[in-house]
Chain A
Amino acid sequence: MSENGNAVKPPALVVCGLRKDYGDDTVVSDFDFEVADGEFVTLLGSSGSGKTTTLMMVAGLVEPTGGTIEIAGQPVTGVPPQRRNIGMMFQSYALFPHLTVFDNVAFPLKRRRFPKAEISKLVIESLERMQLEGFGHRYPAQLSGGQQQRVALARATAYEPPLLLMDEPLSALDRNLRRSLQDELKRFHRTLRTAILYVTHDQEEALSLSDRVILMTEGRVAQVGTPQEIYQSPRSLFVARFLGESNALKGEVASCKGGEAVVKLRNGQVVGGTCSEPLPAGSQVVVVIRPENLMAEANDADGDGIAISVEEISFLGESVRCRGTFATSEPCTLMVGPDHASELSVGATRRVRWEPSKAVVLPGDT
């Protein structure tokens, strides 16, 4: 990066070999990642996977057992939180209840000893950006959940930190409000281009907001990539299962070359898929296909595809979900557009096909 000269800013965050032990419990280990300047990166993982701990270590509120952290090119080992110049948003928003909205937003500016005139200018600008004009004199208790979130965001960004940390800022809200605040957050990120490290256990939220997603499990990285990469090319069964729904068909590699694998399923049928690494013939694998990539057709057609028996059909509005069982007696889920729904009926037998490029063959047998 540095050879490009001064045009490129250092990454907002570089984490290297991060580790945290609580007594004998290792909560985070071998954790490496980067957040580029202006990038929106999400730590996604189930409860207890170490997301908050990682964020707290970046903020300096929890001391790492090992590893290094750099913020905007500066190593911050041993630097106390108040000197790391980061913005942070908490799940509970952590607005100061005894201060007005204005004083909440002014708090970080006062700590940085900005001149008084500049403080009120920046606070007013910040409140305007969050569409909170006229709320300056209110107390946090007099605001709605969405307004409180915007105050927290205004407070964390009033001093334009190079890095913004957010720990599940939307998880306490109801679904509709969450949607609209996600949109707002996206717009905010587009206009400000502050690097954001975001924590959530909601996969939909992670996929829709982020430039890149870091999927965590038990304190380690399971996979890093853009939402599309992670969703379409999971590199392990864990990732495939964690993100969205998927169909899993166990089998044995018949042949594998050039990233294309042919797999013999348990019922003897042979299907195709893609693989990211060469797989030895005869090894146990699982073919993973997303429900929306399965195409259903009448069972009379001979040729490729495997039979399913349809057991349940539910209408979801923009699509129809159908559950059933593959001929291999493994469970099957498919999603079709409402136009195709008429072809399915409970109790019927149908045949499903998929493009081999849309199926991922992963080593393992569970």
Chain B
Amino acid sequence: MARKLLWVVAAIVGLISIAPALIVIPYAFSESGFLDFPPGWGGWQWFEKVLDDPTWGEAAMRSLKVALIATGIASVFGTAAAYALVRARPRFSGMIVGLLVLPMVVPIIIFALGSFALGSDLGLVGSIWTLAIAHAALGLPFVLLNVRASLQLVDPSLERAARSLGAGPLSAFGRVTLPLILPGVLSGAVLAFVLSFDEPVVALFLSQDTDPTLPVKLFQTIRLALEPTVAAVSVMLLILGIAGAALWWVTVRFGQRRLRAAAASVPEGV
């Protein structure tokens, strides 16, 4: 009985959380050029229109580039920061974590405004690198927190053992610690990627109107007219998103298994 109730609640919560995403699907196949209800069946025309218009593809490529650079920066620096915090235990480590996680809690509009002010002072607004760096700052907390959690499960004497066995400091990290925290790094990186890829606010401030990222282009299009092309793009993103989530799930599964094996290899009583 309680189990059934749980299922019902879960189904309702699930439905509510994905309904806004699912509702766009019928409109992507709309018959008319507006978001009319009921949408009717207009076939794949809006998808064709999106694929025919090069600016959509360009925007998608731009977003991909920004997200990849941002993910790279966030992963490297987030991992390095987590490593330093867990292994070296600096005196104010709690405060340092708080500081690095700040972009996650500051309202995005404030963060965007700040980045814009800083970027325009330095004359850097409009470059995808500036946007990527700002996005990296947003993604870094996810990497930091994920890596920190996995690093805390890794026995520090493993790296010392590697050193005593003939590995230099970098080799010891790369061959022993990194493989063990890789699931944490990867799930942090996936989150940082997704965050950057569909982040419109900071992107709106930091990119030029003529070369928008995908979320900015969606926003521009909606502002002009509620065309079903927007719904078609959304459906494509939805499919990519589901694929991404599946990938994330796989890495987490893989990671759990590996970490469990790592924990089990410590003899009992230690």
B210 at the interface (CB under 8 A from A): no
Q: Does B105 contact A (CB under 8 A)?
A: no
A141/B265 in contact, CB under 8 A: yes
B residues less than 8 Å from A81 (CB atoms): 160, 163-164
In angstroms, Cα B172 to Cα A336, docked, is 55
B168 to chain A: closest residue by CB? A82
Known contacts A94-B155, A156-B165; is-contact A61 B160 (Cβ 8 Å): yes
B268 at interface, CB cutoff 8 A: yes
- B265 touches which of A59, A87, A148, A173 (Cβ 8 Å): A148
Residues of A within 8 A of B14 (CB): none
B202 CB to closest chain A CB (Å) equals: 37
How near does chain B come to A47, taking the closest CB pair, in angstroms?
15
Q: How far is the CA of A85 from the CA of B167 in the complex (A)?
A: 11
B261 within 8 Å of A (CB atoms): yes
Among A61, A148, A155, A159, point to the contact of B267 (Cβ < 8 A): A148
Given A82-B163, A140-B265, A145-B267, CB of A94 within 8 Å of CB of B168: no
Q: Is the CB of A88 within 8 A of B265?
A: no
The size bracket of the interface on A is 35 or more
Asked if B65 is an interface residue, CB under 8 A from chain A, the answer is no
- Determine the distance from Cα of A154 to Cα of B169 in the docked complex, in whole angstroms: 23
Instruction: Quote the shortest CB–CB distance from B74 to chain A (angstroms).
Output: 24
Interface size band for B = 20 to 34
Q: Is A86 among interface residues, defined by CB-CB distance under 8 A? A: yes
Q: A155-B165, A173-B269 are in contact. Are A139 and B261 (CB under 8 A)?
A: yes
Q: Which of B164-196 contact A (CB under 8 A)?
A: 164-169, 171-172, 175-176, 179-180
Q: Which A residues touch B269, using CB under 8 A?
A: 172-174
Q: Are B165 and A90 in contact (CB under 8 A)?
A: no
For window 84-126 of A, CB contacts with B under 8 Å fall at 84-88, 90-98, 107-108, 111-112
- CB-CB under 8 A from B17, the residues of chain A are none
Alpha-carbon distance between A87 and B166 when the two chains are bound, in angstroms: 9
**Nearest A residue to B154, CB-CB:** A97
Q: In the complex, how many angstroms separate the beta carbon of A89 from the nearest chain B beta carbon? A: 9
State the Cβ distance, A92 to closest chain B Cβ, in Å: 5
Partner of B161, one of A83, A90, A112: A90
Q: Which B residues touch A172, using CB under 8 A?
A: 267-270
Q: B267, A93: Cβ atoms under 8 Å?
A: yes
Within 8 A of A (CB), among B221-270: 258, 261-262, 264-270
A73 interface residue per 8 A CB criterion = no
CB distance from A112 to the nearest CB of B (A): 6
Check: A80 CB closer than 8 A to any chain B CB.
Answer: yes
**Which of chain B's residues has its CB closest to A87's CB?**
B164
Known: A61-B164, A92-B155, A97-B262. A111 touches B267 (CB 8 A): no
Contact B163 A141 (CB under 8 A): no
- The contact of A86 among B160, B164, B268, B270, by CB within 8 Å, is B164
Known contacts A97-B265, A172-B270; A111 and B161 CB within 8 A of each other: no
CA distance A267 to B89 in the complex (A): 59
Whether B101 sits at the interface, judged by CB under 8 Å, is no
User: Looking across the interface, which residue of chain B has its beta carbon closest to that of A140?
Assistant: B265
Q: What's the nearest-Cβ distance from chain A to residue B169, in Å?
A: 8
B162 within 8 A of A: yes
Which residues of the other chain, B, contact A156 by a CB distance below 8 angstroms? 164-165
Most chain A beta-carbon neighbours within 10 Å: one of B166, B180, B264: B166
Contact A111 B165 (CB under 8 A): yes
A230 CB to closest chain B CB (Å) equals 28
If A60-B163, A94-B157, A97-B258 are given as contacts, then 7 extra A-B residue pairs at C-beta distance below 8 Å, sorted by A number, are: A86-B164, A92-B157, A98-B176, A98-B261, A112-B166, A172-B267, A172-B270
Please list 11 pairs of residues, one from A and one from B, whose beta carbons are closer than 8 Å in the complex, sorted by A's number.
A61-B160, A82-B164, A88-B164, A92-B155, A94-B161, A107-B165, A108-B165, A148-B267, A155-B165, A156-B164, A172-B270
Q: Which residues of A contact B (CB under 8 A)?
A: 59-61, 80-88, 90-98, 107-108, 111-112, 139-141, 145, 148, 155-156, 159, 165, 172-174
Using a CB–CB distance below 8 Å, which chain B residues touch chain A? 155, 157-158, 160-169, 171-172, 175-176, 179-180, 258, 261-262, 264-270
The 8 closest A-B CB pairs, nearest first, are A111-B166, A94-B161, A88-B164, A97-B262, A108-B165, A140-B265, A141-B264, A81-B163
